[in-house]
Structure 1
Amino acid sequence: MVGLDEEEVSVIRNEVLTYAAANGLLMLAASGEVGLVHVPVSLLPAMAVPRKLFEEVRGLAEPFNALVERLAGDPGVIRETLAAAAKQDDFTKSLLDIYTRVLGGPRPDVARKNLAVNRSDYMMDEASQSLLQVELNTISSSFGAQSTVMAQMHKQVLGKFDFLSEGGSGGWFGGEALPDCLESCVPYEDTIGDIVQAFATAVAEYSKSRDSVDAGFDSKSAVVLMVVQDDERNIMDQQILEQELWKRHKVRMVRKTLKEIRDEAVLDGADGILRLASGQEVAVSYLRAGYSPMDYKTDAEWDARLTLEQSQAFKCPSIAYQLVGSKKVQQYLAEDGVLEKFLDSEEDCRNLRKCFASLWALDDPEEPQTKQVIEHAKMNPHLYVLKPQREGGGNNLYDGDLVKALEEEPDLSAYILMQRIVAPIRKSFLLRNGECVEADTLSELGIYGVYLSDNGREIINQCSGALVRTKLASSNEGGVTAGFACLSTPLLH
């Protein structure tokens, strides 16, 4: 193994397994089964990031938060940008239909009670040696809790084993010149604390509003409702937030599926208060489901989503935020002059634009420029990725699949074409189901941002922690979220 012998790797492996078990880097062994296993992780930080570039993308989190809020407050732009996609994509159409019903309902202002846990994902572009944005996740941005634990784990490993820093450089890390204090190279933020603080603040804002109109309101009845999938395996990343929310703020969190919400929750038509069967009031709806068509198996799930959106609760995210996170909006924002319509700071616009990869709309394949880029993509598919309006990974098209779609799809308006970011390949030690392998890997850096606003009144806007997701470079698919994906952290140099 590069830079480390088998005994050293075994020592680190045992440390990581112990730390994972003791600190919640766990997931269900299989859907419907009892038992936990460690989440797939890298033994050591898997992504080298120049400290200057890391700080630059950290600095984008707050402008991105503000940008999402401004866009979400402009229904005309959302509808116009997604109109072509909605004609071709039923899921986008259904989301827009709910958005329209909320705005046309008795309480349109509830659409702007927004809480966000955003995660902007970047890959290192080898050609330009810059971090380019893959996407901005506005719904169900997972691993915020476990990213905190991952950073703590890697700090501990790097500080505990002297053989990792002997000689003043990391042979295990491609010979990068690293300081003696290796743990200082792992960035750490309390993302857990930032997220639960935002939840608690939103509950306090909700309670203050309720107190002003209902003298009999009991603030202890206000809860955070986590909307979950019925076959969720990644429960510990969610449960850590539930436990810490109570431990730090004495706020309760309740887990329900969309189907359970439809069957059990009641929305008061007069004041928009959403109550669970227990009598608890929903102060925040936190969606860890609802981002995929698979989450809406029947009309019951769509009814539940409408109920959530029409309530007085803060939404994490609102349906407007979910729509703003779509691929078509990502492409729209990259057009010349668009950022300036929503952000006042020229510097913020300039810095955001630096991280954008090249993006193309495909609404009109016969338009000369669009036709030209489609033909180029057919001839050079390795330079492009075709993205549909989907979240959750595994949906993008590459290589032969990309060419086939460009040639055979009758309507490409629900897709965007994106420059394929060619990232450097690095040797990493990956641990899955207790077994460690050394492999060539590709990595993606995620930066979390937390935001809270009430009808345009900004309450919280902050950057939080970082996460790396690492996958086998030999996978046929170019996206990090598919295949053998492991959690990791960046190592700054």
Structure 2
Amino acid sequence: MNNILHPLVPQSVIEEASEWAIMHGVAFRQKDNTARHCPFSIAPMTMEKKVFEHLKAATPLITKLIHNISEDHDFLQSSLEAVAKADPFFERLLALHQQAHGEIGHRIRPARKPLLIMRTDFMDDQQHGPKVIEFNGIAAGMAPFGQRATEFHAYLQNQWPEVYQAWSEDPQAIQADNQGLEQLAYGIAQTARKIQATFTSGKQQHSPTFLMVVQENEDNVYDQHLLEVALQKLGIRTVRRTFDQLSTQLSTGDNQRLLLQDVGAIDVVYLRAGYQYIDYCAPKLNEEVCCQTLSQTRLFIEQHHVAVNATFSQQLATSKTMQMLLTAMPSEEYARWGLDYSDAELVKSVLADMRPINKQTISWFNTQASKHEWVLKNQGEGGGHCVFGEDISEKLSQLTPSEYDAWALMQRLYPHERDTPTIAVRNGKPTQINDIVSEVGLFTVYFDGDPVTQLDGYAGYLIRSKPASENEGGIHSGQGILDSLALVNKF
């Protein structure tokens, strides 16, 4: 990598760039109701165009696979039974799934219609090429920020071409088109109208209505509001509620219509909460069984004719355990979910090696494995759920056999470091990063198994970059910075 120090970015550029980010909603809300811009890079990462096209070809197939698995309730319940015994939250989730769908041999068909909004995260490993880090099927956010980052770098390139070129990895690279915000909104709007049409018989009664379920005191609100504004421009009414609020505000209308107090009929429910226990915790309810009321509120939603993301089954189908099962499964078995052998091989080509935790795996890891080549993961969503390197053996020694199934080993990915340093701007202050690596998240939107974007289900991308020395790369909770993508042709 070229470590030659570039001249510092002028402070005037930093200030105007930070103000652009705030002005365009690329920000987090502070406790005092002020806003701070998202940390960002001055110039995009680069990727070979053929690699990006490979990911764009594989991702819709992954989405098709996940959708079909999520509707295969016998498979979900039988294959995830062990992890439910090892992880209390997963146990609750699987129990809710059984309440919604019944048990094997005694199936129930809940009225909800599945809207799969998915972000599949990849890293382009130096040795093995692009591989999946994880599937995100619940609260898969930041498509709006992804599009804004692409627009932001175009703004920098136009306003300060010298600064932009000084920090660009390849001056000939062309920015990859990114319609993440527009396509996500389009897909949701199409879905909302389809649900409404089943009730109105051609008579327009009101604007289709979109309900976003949010966390209390959420600070990542602007990414959410950008989506809401885009939906409003498409004629969709938007409302926000917490699970706590919904526990007393939902009711049932004719033909299993979901009704919200003081709003009316709901067409789409989009969860930006529900992936962790605390989202269902309501201390004021003084429940005998923790989280019972609010988790039953989510079940109540699924019992109505409404488009839902994420359903219980989608959340189960995008779990780490399911990712591990799919990785180990022969390609021929994907036919159960509608993928022929060539499609299955394409999906398998981007899945990184994973191993279950048991006595044999622990013994192998402690005596034979190269520990830096693996990461230990539990079922948690978001940052802070991974153990790396030498710390893995210590963590494994602390686990009881009853906890093994909640964890898995995954091949650690070492993506290419950028050939030139970059400038990261955090809280208005620039920092040079010499070892920056990037994570690529591709969005897809499918309703009831069919693509609903103008790009055949594809819905843009999100780039998050971080120093290679940092383990946690989240923009919101880690050391990550918002980035975009430029493509190069290499022969």
- The two structures have a TM-score, normalised by structure 2, of 0.88
Q: Which moves more between the two structures, 482-491 or 197-206?
A: 482-491
SS at match of 1:393: coil
Matched residue, 1:385: 375
Residues 322-337 of structure 1: matches in 2 within 5 Å? 322-335=315-328, 336-337=330-331
- DSSP-derived class of the 2:387 partner: coil
In structure 1, the partner of 2:182 is 193
8 Å contact kept, 1:44–1:428: yes
Residue identity over aligned pairs, in percent, reads 25
**Closer, same or farther in 2 for the Cα pair 1:458/1:127, shift >3 Å?**
closer
Match for residue 229 of structure 1 among 191, 194, 215: 215
Q: Give per-residue Cα distances to partners, 1:425-482, cap 9 Å, x unaligned.
A: 34321111111111233321111111111xx56656511211111223333x365565
Which residue of structure 2 lines up, in the alignment, with residue 21 of structure 1? 22
* 2:486 counterpart SS class: strand
2:86–2:406 contact (8 Å) kept in structure 1? yes
Q: Which residue in 2 is equivalent to 1:101?
A: 99
**Counterpart secondary structure, 2:416:** coil
Question: Once the two structures are superposed, what CA deviation does each residue of 1:48-75 show, in whole Å capped at 9, x if it has no partner?
Answer: 3111101110112211221111101101
Structure 1 counterpart of 2:405, from 391, 403, 413:
413
Give the superposition deviation at 1:203. Answer: 1.5
Within the alignment, does 1:251 sit opposite 2:236 as a pair? Answer: yes
Report if the CA contact (8 A) 1:443-1:469 is conserved: yes
Q: Which runs of 5+ in 1 are unaligned?
A: none
- Give the drift of 1:218: 5.8
Q: Give distance in 1, aligned partners of 2:27 and 2:451.
A: 35
Map 1:116-265; keep pairs closer than 5 Å. 116-128=116-128, 130-163=129-162, 172-173=167-168, 176-179=169-172, 185-212=174-201, 219-220=205-206, 222-247=208-233, 249-265=234-250
Structure 1 equivalent of residue 284 of structure 2? none
Partners of 1:15 and 1:56 in 2: CA distance:
36
2:464 and 2:483 in contact (8 A); partners too: yes
CA separation in 2, counterparts of 1:111 and 1:361?
Answer: 35
Aligned residues: 465
Residue aligned with 2:216, SS: coil
- Displacement of 1:339 in angstroms is 2.7
**Aligned mates of 2:334, 2:177 — CA distance in 1:** 30
C-alpha spacing 1:5/1:226, structure 2 compared with 1 (3 Å): same
SS at match of 1:85: helix
Q: Is residue 479 of structure 2 the alignment partner of residue 484 of structure 1?
A: yes
RMSD over aligned CA atoms reads: 2.4
Deviation at 1:196, TM superposition (A): 1.3
Match of 1:356 in 2: 351
Tell me: CA distance 1:238–1:473, structure 2 relative to 1, closer, same or farther (3 Å).
same
Contact 1:61 1:462 in 2 (8 A): no
User: Whole-Å Cα distance in 2 between the matches of residues 292 and 347 of structure 1?
Assistant: 36
| Pair 1:430–1:111, CA change in 2 (3 A) | farther
2:374 is the counterpart of 1:374: no
Aligned CA distance change for structure 1 residues 486 and 413 (closer, same or farther; 3 Å): same
Give the counterpart letter for 2:135 in structure 1. L
Equivalent of residue 271 in structure 2, options 287, 310, 325: 287
When residues 177 and 229 of structure 1 are mapped into structure 2, their CA distance, relative to the original with a 3 A threshold, is closer
Kept in 2, the 8 Å contact 1:103–1:111? The answer is: no
Q: Cα 1:345–1:146, aligned 2, differ >3 Å: closer, same or farther?
A: same
- Corresponding residue for residue 424 of structure 2: 430
Structure 1 residues 462 and 9, CA gap change in structure 2 (3 angstroms): farther
Give a deviation string over 1:346-370, Cα, whole Å, max 9, x none.
22211111111111122xx24x5x3
1:369-419 CA-partner distances (Å, limit 9, x unpaired): x35543357x53211111111111211111243211212201311111100
Q: How far apart are the structure 1 equivalents of 2:484 and 2:451?
A: 30
1:81 matches 2:83: no
**Hey, what's the Cα distance between the residues in 1 that align with 2:149 and 2:20?**
9
1:44 has 2:43 as partner: yes
Amino acid at match of 1:451: Y
Summarize the alignment of residues 294-313 of structure 1 with structure 2, pairs less than 5 Å apart.
Answer: 294-297=278-281, 298-313=291-306
Letter in 2 for 1:316: N
SS of 2:466's partner is strand
Aligned partner of 1:266 in structure 2 is 251
1:51-90 equivalent positions in 2, closer than 5 A: 51-90=49-88
Offset at 1:36? 1.2
Whether the 8 Å CA contact 1:221–1:280 is kept in 2: the answer is no
* Aligned counterparts of 2:426 and 2:450: Cα–Cα separation in 1: 44
Letter of the 1:124 counterpart: D
Give 1:4's aligned amino acid.
Answer: H
* 1:5 equivalenced with 2:7 (yes/no): yes
CA 286–480 in structure 1, closer or farther in 2 if over 3 Å, else same: closer
Residue type of the alignment partner of 2:326: L
Distance across 1 between alignment mates of 2:260 and 2:100? 21
Q: Are residues 279 and 238 of structure 1, via their aligned partners in 2, closer, same or farther at CA, if it must alter by over 3 Å?
A: closer
User: How far apart in 2 are the matches of 1:131 and 1:483?
Assistant: 22
TM-score by length of 1: 0.88
Contact 2:120 2:135 in 1 (8 A): yes
Give ranges in structure 2 of 5+ residues lacking alignment. Answer: 282-290
